[in-house]
């Protein structure tokens, strides 16, 4: 057992001397050339890999105006036209393609949002009497208040027998049972 401890002690001593020698070499390298770094496997484990970030090319105002003018003429570009336009504007073909894709997507979203907003503004509800009336969302109007306010009576007896349609000053049509 004593021999084993002696071997362990000798091994540790050798390792310590080895580490000291490596540290001395590294320090001397730092003195000679601070830019030259020596990394051990331990240091490499803790290093984070840096991602190569792609540079984003944003068209300037003049380029945007030219792209918008082209977009208004045609929403989709041919390969040839994309090459020509990229050459004229000093942009890459990928940038031109992405601009057109983003523009089409933005236009579709705006169109969809307008439709959704129109549908949200108007919803069918029932007033206190249980009669369905068409009012803007999040607005509570009692039938008596509507009839007292200045409204124009529109009687559509042919289309809606038993109902009266009134229109308030905002142009909102309200349906009331007779």
Cα Rg of the chain (Å, integer): 39
Angle at 66 between CA 61 and CA 72, to 5 degrees: 120
- Give residue-wise pLDDT tens across range 111-130: 888 877 776 666 555 555 55
Torsion of the alpha carbons at 12, 18, 20 and 25, rounded to the nearest 10? -170
Domain ranges across the chain: 59-159
- Give residue-wise pLDDT tens across range 13-42: 677 776 777 677 666 666 666 555 555 555
Q: Look at residue 156 and tell me whether its pLDDT is greater than 50.
A: no
Closest CA to 107 of 131, 72, 80, 140: 72
* Most confident of the ranges 56-65, 85-94, 118-127, 146-155: 85-94
Find the helix packing angle between 61-73 and 93-121, rounded to 10°: 70
Q: Looking at domain 59-159, does it have CATH number 1.10.10.60?
A: yes
pLDDT averaged over the chain?
A: 71
User: Which of 10-24, 37-51, 65-79 bottoms out in mean pLDDT, i.e. has the lowest?
Assistant: 37-51
Segment 48-66 mean pLDDT: 80
Contact by Cβ (8 Å): 127, 174: no
Kind and range of the H or E run holding 59: none
Q: What's residue 80's pLDDT? A: 94
């Amino acid at each position: 057992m004593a021999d084993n401890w002696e071997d362990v002690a000798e091994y540790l001593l050798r390792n310590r001397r080895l580490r000291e020698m490596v540290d001395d070499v590294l320090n001397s390298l730092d003195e000679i050339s601070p830019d030259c770094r020596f990394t051990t496997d331990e240091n490499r484990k803790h290093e984070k890999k840096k991602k190569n970030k792609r540079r984003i090319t944003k068209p300037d105002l003049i380029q945007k105006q030219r792209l918008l003018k082209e977009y208004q003429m045609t929403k989709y570009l041919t390969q040839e036209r994309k090459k020509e336009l990229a050459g004229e504007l000093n942009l890459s073909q990928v940038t031109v393609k992405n601009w057109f894709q983003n523009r089409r997507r933005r236009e579709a979203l705006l169109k969809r949002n307008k439709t959704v907003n129109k549908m949200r503004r108007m919803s069918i509800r029932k007033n206190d009497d249980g009669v369905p009336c068409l009012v803007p969302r999040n607005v509570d109007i009692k039938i008596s208040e509507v009839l007292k306010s200045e409204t124009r009576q529109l009687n559509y007896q042919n289309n809606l027998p038993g109902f009266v349609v009134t229109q308030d000053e905002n142009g909102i049509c309200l349906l009331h049972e007779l």
